[in-house]
Structure 1
Amino acid sequence: MSFDLVIFDCDGVLVDSEALACVVHADVLTAYGYAITAAQVHERFLGRSAREARAQVESEMGRVLPDEYTDSLRSTIDRVFGEQLQPVPGIDDVLAGLTQQKCVASSGTPTRIRSSLTTTKLIHHFGEHLYSALQVERGKPAPDLFLFAAAQMGVDPARCVVIEDSIHGVSGAVAAGMTVFGFHGGAHCGPSTAGALQATGAHLVFCDMRQLPALIEAGAPGARAFDPA
């Protein structure tokens, strides 16, 4: 089938941020009394909003994190991203060449999404079509954000393809009735990432963003175990 809208996750799909963010998140949580490693942050919170991750941490700690926690996390990420954040290789040319409508649906805050895309000089590809989990009741893995994005863009969910790198994102896109392509080319991805995305329901997986235009034109294959590496 053909698609009318391409919905991109931001972190790990447009910008190669997840490895950086996991280290920062782990360091700040540990400093506030919740000992955790970057690998554990990756496993437990990748693809989820900071709001939901914080709620889970506070539940496990049995206390509320202080107000300055959020400011500390935000300021540290701002500094690290400003110094080190890079776009996913090939994504600028891919976005420039797509003929379909496109938008972003991310678990990040609206400010974070815009900042990351501005830093990496990708913001002009999307204009105001940036949608955040803060705009819906439930973030990923619920389908709310993807359905909201499709509604804002005026496109039937069945005509949307979602590009995701996390199992929470894949779950949400599948629940929304959309086709989902699992991307495992980010710095945070490991040998098991492709299989995990497939097992969660990705219609195909790929590791080089420059392959995306051809994959979109080909549509979703019948089999899920496909990686055009």
Structure 2
Amino acid sequence: MNPNFDLVIFDCDGVLVDSEVISCRAHAETLTRHGYPITAEQVLERFLGVSDREARQTIEREIDRRLPDDFEQQVKAATLKFYEGDLQAIAHVGEAIGAIVLPKCVASSGTPEKIRHGLTCAGLYDQLAPHIFSATQVSRGKPAPDLFLFAAKQMNISPERCIVIEDSVPGVTGGRAAGMTVLGFHGGSHCRPGYGNRLRDAGAVAVFDDMRHLPGLMEKIGVEATPNRTVY
């Protein structure tokens, strides 16, 4: 494995588990029930990669009232219900994780319970535990760099020695703000044509849509790219 990196930081939703469509559906149904009509597609467009806490704050500012105190619990219950029947791992991600010999961790906008449950349902938890970090552990979620810097500190790795795998513009932005190299993944079921270009425009040094390409792409990036140079 390329000597330019010492740690791989994976986002969870949309990178490890194909959950973004499920999560957006749960949020849309719960918000609509509480007087904020929104579709799953609109949730995806507006809040992909944003922490639940910050999405809630945005919505409460728009409606000028607080959502129910147990709103997050309601969304969580709906999400976990859908997970049981619909959640799958991103294709080939287990093999990609196994092929990468560097230390690995997860840095996700989800709650610890949601991350753990999603990874367990997808059969990936044992490959990545216990190095799993949540936006609930920092004051600011993505696109701020806090979560990535927290993960690197917990793993005792300098930020510039980290490579981040992200599927959202806020995630790419946060990883770059942390001084890390970021790869943009656009192979989840929520990604529309042209989505990879959005990740590249946000600062990903390269984009890809097949996890089988990740180990080789990391090698290529280490040789040909720096955090300020794009590989096409």
Write the letter of the residue equivalent to 1:79: K
| Equivalent residues in 2 for 1:41-80, closer than 5 Å | 41-80=43-82
Match status 1:224 vs 2:230: yes
Give deviations 1:147-179, integer Å, cap 9, x for gaps: 000010011111100000000000000000000
Distance 2:29 2:155 in 1: 38
Q: TM-score, normalised by structure 1?
A: 0.96
Give the counterpart of 1:159 among 161, 169, 183.
Answer: 161
Structural RMSD (CA): 1.2
Distance 1:216 1:15 in 2: 20
**SS of structure 2 residue aligned to 1:67:** coil
Match status 1:87 vs 2:93: no
Give the counterpart of 1:172 among 171, 174, 179.
Answer: 174
| Equivalent residues in 2 for 1:124-203, closer than 5 Å | 124-203=126-205
Residue in 1 that maps onto 2:104: 102
C-alpha deviation, 1:37, in angstroms:
1.3
**Structure 1 ranges of 4+ moved more than 6 A:** none
Gaps of 5+ in 1: none
Gaps of 5+ in 2: none
Write the letter of the residue equivalent to 2:37: A
Q: TM-score, normalised by structure 2?
A: 0.94
> Across the two proteins, how many residue pairs are aligned to each other?
226
Identity of counterpart residues, as a percentage? Answer: 52
Contact 1:48 1:140 in 2 (8 A): yes
Write the letter of the residue equivalent to 2:132: L
**SS of structure 2 residue aligned to 1:70:** helix
Contact 1:16 1:86 in 2 (8 A): yes
**SS of structure 2 residue aligned to 1:172:** helix
C-alpha deviation, 1:219, in angstroms:
2.3
